[in-house]
Amino acid sequence: MPSENGYFYYFNMRLNEESTAALIALRNATPHENISYNGWTCSYRNIRITVNGEPLISSAPVWNVYNGLGILLPFVRKEDALEAARRVCPTLTPQFSEGWSVQ
């Protein structure tokens, strides 16, 4: 996805129905936190994802998306998005969407 400083590469993790329901319940139970930067304030839910006990941290956690379609994490470097995909599912080859995101 184009950004002011180049691109963000999004890692999209699709979930099954049971996992999606658990994610939505977690999201709704997690309180909002506020972050201020350069005069801009953002409210977000600080949800941490771990893979094999290690945190999976995006380049811009306030832009992480947790919804009924799954989890969407932004990365500044393409290599970091691909590494996140490999950590979550080492047996699959990442697929690229037409235009702007890493899946």
Report the amino acid identity of residue 85: A
Residue 20 has a pLDDT of 92
End-to-end CA distance of the chain: 12
Where exactly are the structural domains of the chain? Answer: 2-88
In order along its 103 residues, the chain shows pLDDT tens digits of 555 667 788 889 999 999 999 999 999 999 999 988 778 888 888 898 999 899 999 998 888 999 888 999 999 988 899 999 999 988 877 666 655 444 4
Q: What is the pLDDT of residue 1?
A: 55
pTM to 2 decimal places:
0.77
Could you tell me if 14 and 70 are in contact, meaning their C-beta atoms sit under 8 angstroms apart?
Answer: yes
